[in-house]
Amino acid sequence: MSNDIDNEYFCDGITEEIINALTKIDKLKVIARTSSFAFKGKDIDIRKIGEQLGVSTILEGSIKKSQERVRITAQLIDVEDGTHYWSKKFDRQLKDIFDLEDEISLAIAEEVRNNFGHFEIQEHLIEQSTSSVDAYQMYLKGRSFQLKWTPEGLNQAINYYNQAIALDKNYAKAYYANLQCYGLSAMWGYIPYEEAMELAINNLLMAKELDASLPEYPLSYVGKFFGKNGILRMPTFILRKSWPLTPIILTA
């Protein structure tokens, strides 16, 4: 989706939320953020994008945020001939952004189902872990800096995540995000290892107490961390501080 440059963090965050929501639907193939965002801001023929991604439909749109209102336009395009077969505009108050994200995701899923065959759609696709729009915006700002994967970016992300937590102390996703930032900072040597891992554990324990149902929770136990000497080791000390969890192995 194209966006408002002054609120790029917000536009990218909403787009990612919708992508993640659509991935919850069985039998619906959704391209991950990394691949889809590679075409952001580029003037490339829709049919060529579809060919490169291996999809039959492209979701295109725009997001505009002005003071306390959000205007989103979404449209579905058939990559075979480049025609638009669905388009809709959404204009809401910013305070309704959580319901709006869910409404848009459900509308897109329903239209794809109408055109490409039956699959089950849940009643809701997005459930926010905060009721504070201000906290949510701080979280999205943090996310935008985290994805820069630089020492400065991760440090700034932590700053915004902490602001989100200050606005909503029960915002589990912000604690999980801090955990990721501190874990990466430890692994990449941006922060002294023991210091970073202690902060990571503290955020994990807070997040776990608030909401262990989020997908970020089991992922907190998965992966390997570089030790101070550069040797890969599993963070067994994190596991000792939490209840047992069936191990899941992911590689990247």
pLDDT of residue 228: 53
pLDDT of residue 4: 57
pTM: 0.83
Mean pLDDT, residues 208-217: 88
* pLDDT of 2 strictly over 90: no
Mean pLDDT, residues 105-134: 91
Q: Which stretch of DSSP H or E encloses residue 134?
A: helix 133-146
pLDDT of residue 3: 55
pLDDT of residue 221: 62
Q: How far is CA 106 from CA 18, 32, 62, 164, in A?
A: 9, 18, 17, 27
* pLDDT of 225 strictly over 80: no
Residue 176 · residue 207 · CB < 8 Å: yes
